[in-house]
Amino acid sequence: MRKVYIETYGCQMNEYDTEIVKTILKQNNYDLTEQPEEAQILFLNTCSVRENAHQKVYQRINTLKQLRKKEKKRVMGVLGCMAQNLRDELLDEKVGVDLVAGPDSYKKLPAMLESVVQDDARQYALSLSEYETYSDIFPVREEGVNSWIAVMRGCDNFCTFCVVPYTRGRERSRDPLNVVDEVKRLTDQGFKQITLLGQNVNSYQYGTSDFADLINEVSKVDGIERIRFTSPHPKDFPQKLIETVANNPKACRHIHLPLQAGNTRILDMMNRTYTKEDFLHLVDYMKERIPDLALTTDIIVGFPTETESEYQDTLDVIRTVEFDSAFMFKYSERKQTIASRKYPDDVSEEEKTSRITRLVELQRNISLKRNQQHIGKVFSVLIEGKAKKDGQLMGRNDGNKIVVFADTGQKIGEFINIKITTASTNTLIGEVV
Ligand code: 5AD
Ligand code: SF4
């Protein structure tokens, strides 16, 4: 009973957590496999942020159950946010899950697996910790140029639509010395870029060290060339952090700044703690201090009671800011959240679809326009790998845009100067200079 297969859904934090789980299991003499057929233990590391994430996992459980029919001894486990959120539902005999473990319980997995096998009893571990940061675990990582590193976990913001504060618990940050140590080990492995991760990454605080201090400490590590971070909250952008992005040459000039909605009444109902005007002022200040800044965002349409004219405020902010790109979602009511308790999900599906369609169209045009403004410019591109088309390589510029160019034998992990010749909505195309 030793081979484990893990599938990951959702955000980068979950990808990172999967690496942690793999490391813990390896330390306990389990083998990993990429093939579910070969595995005796099947894990799904799940996401709860929107309803369709749940549906995907239920479908996948059903498919994987077919494998179990062939070999009865297989163990099926659900990890991550959905485990935390839906324990009772998942442990229902009909679902057929043997083990459920939330994001702060992964160190218990080896013991839980033993119990499932020996005692033939379902296992669950779901207590949320105020301290667990897995800082003593150095996760096994796939080779590459970018490595993710979780520097804080949890979220205390309680945006009313969001389930994360319930599935991942309270905010806690890692000791900066421990983060720097991990970054050094990553550079030894050849990683040139790191992305600092957290549900609310810029509220990082350890003793007197804030997030700007952390970026500056990490940037002192030789071999790290680029530092990115995700996902921040607009409320935690003091001048010091903006100046760090502006002045630290290793900090990428890209900020993901989730707007969520452009109307102040809706923002208030969402508990975002800023107004439309606050957001616009923050963006103006960032653009002034950081020339060539790339800005991206997250938007939710159809939050309860949002009217057409309030939705128009979101479009207005989108037109004013001109984000480079955006992740756009229809509001999806989540169990446990404040919104689900206080506000009926009263915008019709049809209306949500209409709003998201118009938003996506607007953003596509803006992304294209922003990309076309780069034609003729030269960017330093960190090469990540082969592009989709044969004979081409792809990498990213400092602003996180994908840049594609002809493969003439350049090496992955190298920097190369590329002059942009063509632009589409999602990609810049150029030639080596
Ligand atoms: N419905 C729709 N989108 C959501 N997000 C978070 N919760 C919900 C929800 N209930 C979006 C937010 C967040 C991103 C990660 O997912 O835009 O920034
Ligand atoms: Fe969710 Fe808001 Fe926390 Fe982001 S900041 S994880 S949207 S509660």
CA quadruple 372, 375, 377, 378: dihedral sign? positive
Look at residue 14 and tell me if it is in a domain. yes
| Distance from the alpha carbon of residue 147 to the mean position of ligand 1, in angstroms | 24
Residues 105 and 184 occupy one common structural domain: no
Domain-located, residue 130 = no
> For residue 43, what are its two tokens?
């894990």
CATH number at residue 424: 2.40.50.140
298 found inside a domain? yes
Q: Which atom of ligand 1 is the closest one to the Cα of 330?
A: 2
Spatial CB neighbours of 146, under 8 Å, sequence gap ≥ 6: 191, 193, 194, 195, 228, 384
Q: Indicate whether 77 and 172 sit together in one domain.
A: no
DSSP per residue, 173-187: E--HHHHHHHHHHHH
The encoded tokens of residue 352 equal 């949500």
161 close to ligand 1 (CB < 6 Angstrom): yes
- Determine, yes or no, domain membership for 139: no
Give every CB contact of residue 314 below 8 A, 6+ residues apart in sequence: 259, 261, 262, 263, 299, 301, 359
Cα 329 to averaged position of ligand 1 atoms, centre (Å): 7
Q: Tokens representing 117? A: 């096998």
User: Which residue from 233, 267, 340 has its CB within 8 A of the most atoms of ligand 2, so it is best to mutate?
Assistant: 233
With respect to residue 360, please indicate whether it lies within any of the assigned structural domains.
Answer: yes
Same domain, 349 and 221: yes
**Are 393 and 386 within 8 A, CB to CB?**
yes
**What whole-number distance in Å separates Cα of residue 158 and Cα of residue 144?**
34
Minimum-distance ligand 1 atom for the alpha carbon of 163: 7
Say yes or no: CB of residue 339 within 6 Å of ligand 1: no
Residues 11 and 160 placed together within one structural domain of the fold? no
> Same structural domain for residues 243 and 287?
yes
Is residue 20, in this structure, part of any structural domain at all?
yes
Same domain for 268 and 300?
Answer: yes
Going from the Cα of 341 to the center of ligand 2, the distance in angstroms, rounded, reads: 17
Residue 337 CA: nearest ligand 1 atom is: 10
338 belongs to a structural domain: yes
| The pLDDT value given to residue 142 | 80
Predicted confidence pLDDT, tens digits, the chain (433 residues):
589 999 999 999 999 999 999 999 999 999 999 999 999 999 999 999 999 888 899 999 999 988 877 776 789 999 999 998 888 889 888 888 999 999 999 999 999 999 998 888 899 999 999 999 999 999 988 878 999 999 999 999 999 999 999 999 999 999 999 999 999 999 999 999 999 999 999 999 999 999 999 999 999 999 999 999 999 999 999 999 999 999 999 999 999 999 999 999 999 999 999 999 999 999 999 999 999 999 999 999 999 999 999 999 999 999 999 999 999 999 999 999 999 999 999 999 999 999 999 999 999 999 999 999 999 999 999 999 999 999 999 999 999 999 999 999 999 999 999 999 999 999 999 999 9
Question: What are the tokens at 237?
Answer: 């952008």
- Based on the fold, state whether residues 359 and 406 are members of the same structural domain: no
CA-nearest of 209, 245, 241 to 227 is 245
CA distances from 7 to 15, 46, 47, 77, 187 (A): 9, 8, 11, 11, 27
Ligand 2 neighbourhood includes 230 CB (under 6 angstroms): no
Of 125, 160, 195, at which residue does a domain stop? Answer: 125
Q: Which of 324, 346, 372 is the last residue of a domain?
A: 372
The residue whose CB lies within 8 Å of the most ligand 1 atoms, and thus the one to mutate among 47, 329, 330, is: 329
| Pair 399, 341 in one domain | no
Residues 164 and 279 in one domain: yes
Cite the DSSP H helix spans in 146-304. 164-167, 176-188, 211-219, 239-247, 264-269, 276-289
Is any atom of ligand 1 closer than 6 Å to the C-beta of 332? yes
366 lines ligand 1 (CB under 6 A): no
Nearest atom within ligand 2 for CA of residue 163: 1
Domain containing residue 43: CATH number: 3.40.50.12160
Q: How far apart are CA 293 and CA 56, in angstroms?
A: 36
Q: Looking at the structure, do residues 221 and 273 belong to the same domain, yes or no?
A: yes
pLDDT score at 85: 84
- Asked if 186 and 326 sit in the same domain, the reply is yes
Ligand 1 test: best mutation among 14, 15, 49, 166, most atoms within 8 Å of CB?
Answer: 49
Q: Is 160 in the pocket of ligand 2 (CB under 6 A)?
A: no
- Ligand lying closest to the C-alpha of residue 161: 1
Shared domain for 155 and 245, answered yes or no, is: yes
- Specify the number of domains making up the chain: 3
Note whether residue 23 is domain-resident: yes
Ligand 2 atom at minimal distance to the Cα of residue 168: 6
Pairing of strands 205-206, 209-210: antiparallel
Domain residues for the domain of 27 are 3-125
Q: How far apart are CA 189 and CA 204, in angstroms?
A: 26
Cβ(33) – ligand 1 distance below 6 Å: no
Which residue among 324, 350, 372 closes a domain?
372
* The pLDDT of residue 1: 58
Among 162, 163, 201, the mutation site with the greatest number of ligand 1 atoms within 8 A of its Cβ is 162
Q: Which residues pair with 206 in a beta bridge?
A: 209
Looking at ligand 2, which atom is closest to the CA of residue 199? 6
